[in-house]
């Protein structure tokens, strides 16, 4: 490393986000970049450790160690420290198809396993990654890579989320002719309609898609496989098919009154908002507005946070985020040692904005909805909640138990359900006669991604269950390799 003692000489530092009171007035990204001098200082903190766990890319049980893409993090940190931004981009692009996506929305598994973070603060890997790729776009380093030869074989990729895009990009570079089918009107899947603009500006997605089109990939939007295009017809029209449709079945809210008006799944709420924003800057009235409403978000994860931030930008009257789990600790617990991903409390942008606007954190832990009352028009009016404690059942499982005396009634005009997903839609599997696993995911082995139907592969959330963008990209790359081996026989 250019600065072996950098982790001792310099403190971890990140560029200041735009102030909450400023950023809630628009839909622009709230993160900023350092100047190159400050970025080089942060790159210098990479400590030339003997075993760099940051790019291990391992899944152990329900936890992760290091970057699933096996990014060559110490190498491009060193290049940044030495001011060689173009070569840093070259090294980054060897393992990562879309660093502009992961550099914005990934929780940075790499930083959780950074050796410098064992007894101190980890290197700012995510911020450096984002700066490298944004600098590369600005300086013209990112150019179309058009394959010199084609293999004469065709592959259909169903879904244009992170796994589908990664699979299509990798296959295209191998020389296959790739067609991507997307049910929405724009490519990008989760990246386009599942993540709000202030966290991932859609111009960033469009820029990458345009480049992929220039490289020869065909996108067919507004085509839902299984409805507009029979799934079994894909097998006839293409030499191989990769299903990357994500986990599209949201977990429902089990409470009396859950069928009232004014209750939406978070994915529908966020998608409608982004589409209206892109189509008309929210003037067409096609979004689900939280303006002047008391909002309750059910779910404490990233999607719930995105709902909080979106509602605040609409001008909601109040927003509360209910989480049935307990509040995470401020630091690592003994059962969560380094280099595992740290399961600690994180106050994200949505909570920061709510604290700024309303003077308190919107999250309430160990709380669940028991009943929802409506008015005479069938609209949500009151939500009944109760606090819970987690107890061990006779079977040994943990379950929430209501605590008597903690019942509460809350005024509410809009409920957003952000409780995760149960698996992919099943019409494609049914049409293909394809096996699913016990969780209703498309059954396909890790690494080879082969389903029970010859020539059909599955990758991303539809195979592994709801997960992270970075894992979806890895799965897309792995599926591409599996397709190449299958078609090269």
Which tens digit of pLDDT belongs to each residue from 75-93? 999 999 999 999 999 999 9
Structure tokens given for 48 = 């030339």
Which of 138, 167, 202 lies at the terminal end of a domain, its last residue? Answer: 138
Supply the range of the domain harboring residue 86.
6-138
Residues 295 and 396 in one domain: yes
The confidence band for 64, taking pLDDT boundaries of 50, 70 and 90, is confident
Confirm whether 443 is domain-assigned: yes
What confidence score (pLDDT) does residue 82 get? 96
Residues 168 and 239 in one domain: yes
Residues 304 and 351 in one domain: yes
- Does the pLDDT value for residue 61 go beyond 80? no
Sign of CA dihedral 280, 285, 287, 290: positive
What confidence score (pLDDT) does residue 435 get? 97
Structure tokens given for 123 = 């290197």
Residues 337 and 239 in one domain: no
Which of 404, 419, 434 lies at the terminal end of a domain, its last residue? Answer: 419
Q: Which residue, among 28, 20, 59, 32, has the nearest Cα to 124 in the 3D structure?
A: 32
Tell me the C-alpha distance between 305 and 297, whole Å.
9
Total count of domains within the chain? 3
How do 63-65 and 58-60 pair as beta strands?
antiparallel
The confidence band for 59, taking pLDDT boundaries of 50, 70 and 90, is confident
**CATH number, domain with residue 80:** 1.10.1060.10
The confidence band for 464, taking pLDDT boundaries of 50, 70 and 90, is very high
What confidence score (pLDDT) does residue 4 get? 87
pLDDT tens digits, 305-344? 999 999 999 999 999 999 999 999 999 999 999 999 999 9
Confirm whether 55 is domain-assigned: yes
Coil, strand, or helix at residue 261?
Answer: strand
pLDDT tens digits, 392-439? 999 999 999 999 999 999 999 999 999 999 999 999 999 999 999 999
Any idea what the Cα angle at residue 472 is, between residues 471 and 476, rounded to 5°? 115
Which of 419, 448, 473 lies at the terminal end of a domain, its last residue? Answer: 419
Q: Which residue, among 263, 329, 260, has the nearest Cα to 295 in the 3D structure?
A: 263
Which residue stretches of 215-366 are H helix? 231-237, 266-280, 302-314, 349-358
Contacts of 10 (CB under 8 A, 6+ apart): 41, 42, 44, 45
Confirm whether 276 is domain-assigned: yes
Confirm whether 146 is domain-assigned: no
Residues 241 and 266 in one domain: no
Confirm whether 144 is domain-assigned: no
Residues 367 and 441 in one domain: no
3-state helix, strand, coil in the chain (%, to 5): 35, 20, 45
pLDDT tens digits, 231-253? 999 989 999 999 999 998 999 99
Confirm whether 1 is domain-assigned: no
Residues 26 and 171 in one domain: no
**CATH number, domain with residue 177:** 3.50.50.60
The confidence band for 289, taking pLDDT boundaries of 50, 70 and 90, is very high
- Does the pLDDT value for residue 121 go beyond 80? yes
Contacts of 361 (CB under 8 A, 6+ apart): 347, 351, 354, 355
Question: How many residues belong to the chain?
Answer: 489
Residues 371 and 444 in one domain: no
Residues 431 and 483 in one domain: yes
Residues 391 and 362 in one domain: yes
Confirm whether 147 is domain-assigned: no
Confirm whether 480 is domain-assigned: yes
Residues 126 and 229 in one domain: no
Do 170 and 217 form a contact (C-beta atoms < 8 A)? no
Residues 192 and 122 in one domain: no
């Amino acid at each position: 490393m250019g600065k072996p003692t950098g982790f001792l000489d310099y403190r971890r530092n990140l560029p200041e986000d735009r102030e909450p009171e400023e950023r809630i007035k628009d839909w622009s990204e709230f993160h900023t970049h350092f100047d190159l001098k400050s970025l080089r200082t942060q790159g210098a903190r990479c400590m030339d450790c003997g075993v760099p766990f940051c790019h291990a890319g391992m899944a152990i049980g329900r936890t992760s160690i290091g970057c699933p893409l096996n990014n060559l993090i110490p190498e491009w940190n060193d290049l940044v420290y030495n001011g060689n931004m173009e070569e840093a981009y070259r090294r980054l692009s060897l393992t990562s198809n879309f660093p502009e996506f992961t550099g914005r929305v990934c929780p940075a598994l790499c930083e959780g396993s950074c050796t410098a973070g064992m007894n101190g603060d980890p290197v700012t890997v995510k911020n450096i990654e984002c700066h490298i790729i944004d600098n590369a776009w600005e300086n013209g380093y990112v150019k179309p890579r058009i394959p010199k030869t084609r293999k004469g074989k065709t592959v259909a990729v169903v879904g244009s989320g992170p796994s589908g895009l990664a699979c299509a990009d990798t296959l295209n570079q191998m020389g296959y002719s790739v067609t991507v089918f997307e049910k929405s009107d724009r490519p990008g899947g989760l990246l386009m309609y599942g993540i709000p603009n202030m966290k991932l500006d859609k111009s960033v997605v469009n820029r990458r898609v345009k480049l992929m089109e220039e490289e020869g990939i065909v996108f067919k939007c507004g085509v839902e496989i299984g409805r507009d295009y029979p799934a079994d017809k894909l097998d006839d029209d293409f030499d191989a098919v990769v299903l990357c449709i994500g986990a599209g079945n949201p977990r429902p809210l089990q409470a009396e009154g859950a069928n009232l008006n004014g209750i939406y799944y978070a994915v529908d709420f966020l998608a409608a908002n982004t589409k209206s924003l892109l189509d008309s800057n929210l003037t067409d009235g096609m979004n689900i507005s939280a303006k002047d409403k008391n909002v309750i978000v059910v779910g404490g994860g990233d999607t719930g946070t995105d709902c909080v931030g979106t509602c605040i930008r609409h001008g909601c009257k109040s927003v509360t985020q209910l989480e049935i789990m307990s509040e995470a600790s401020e630091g690592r617990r003994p059962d969560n040692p380094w280099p595992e991903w740290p399961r600690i409390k994180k106050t994200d942008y949505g909570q920061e904005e709510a604290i700024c606007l309303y003077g308190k954190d919107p999250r309430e832990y160990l709380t669940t909805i028991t009943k929802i009352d409506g008015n005479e028009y069938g609209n949500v009016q009151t939500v009944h909640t109760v606090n819970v404690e987690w107890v061990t059942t006779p079977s040994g499982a943990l379950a929430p138990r209501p605590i008597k005396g903690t019942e509460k009634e809350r005024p509410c005009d809009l409920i957003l359900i952000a409780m995760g997903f149960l698996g992919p839609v099943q019409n494609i599997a049914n049409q293909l006669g394809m096996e699913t696993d016990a969780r209703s995911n498309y059954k396909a082995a890790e690494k080879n991604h082969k389903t029970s139907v010859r020539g059909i592969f599955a990758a991303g959330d539809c195979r592994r269950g709801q997960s992270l963008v970075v894992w979806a990209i890895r799965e897309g790359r792995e599926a591409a390799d599996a397709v190449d081996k299958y078609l090269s026989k």
